[in-house]
Structure 1
């Protein structure tokens, strides 16, 4: 029986997607989620279109493509520092990928919004 809370397509890398995505703004975190799963859920083009939409929205809102140094924990009344260094996690993910997807993760490590969006467009072209 599949786990509806922790589906396999979010565990397809060197660590779970949530460990990285929760360290970002809502829009950037969702972009990460859609790129993460695009090969495994069965709808790569749709997932990458959603990722691009969230990336463009984040850029339009002036959101950083770097992780927040702190994030809220619903079980606590304070903010906590993630025990997982986002740059290390992104490099682990980049090293587990090749081609344009690798370029995407490298751009995320640099928090370079234009390169991230360019890589997403290139990934989308690969689905056509």
Structure 2
């Protein structure tokens, strides 16, 4: 087979690139547990799938992560006192939401 005519070599006959072995491989995602970053816990996926409350908390956890990352990226300088005070109040409200999510998870897991 010739590379010029558009055909490709089979995978086992392709030339080996010397840096290919050094490239890091991505780890497979952990599908057995659901990571609740807002409360710092991993819960088995079977429990999350069995509980509507835990499913809702999983969705809220993703929303919390997005809001936290966006808010951290928009942090104003402390010299801008009013803007910083408003930003800090929003961060506190995210902390309160995190606590409410933790309570919901605790109550849901206690029911199992």
Q: Which has the higher strand share?
A: 2
Q: Same fold per TM (> 0.5)?
A: no
What TM-score do the two structures reach when normalised by structure 2? 0.29
Structure with higher Rg: it is 2
What TM-score do the two structures reach when normalised by structure 1? 0.27
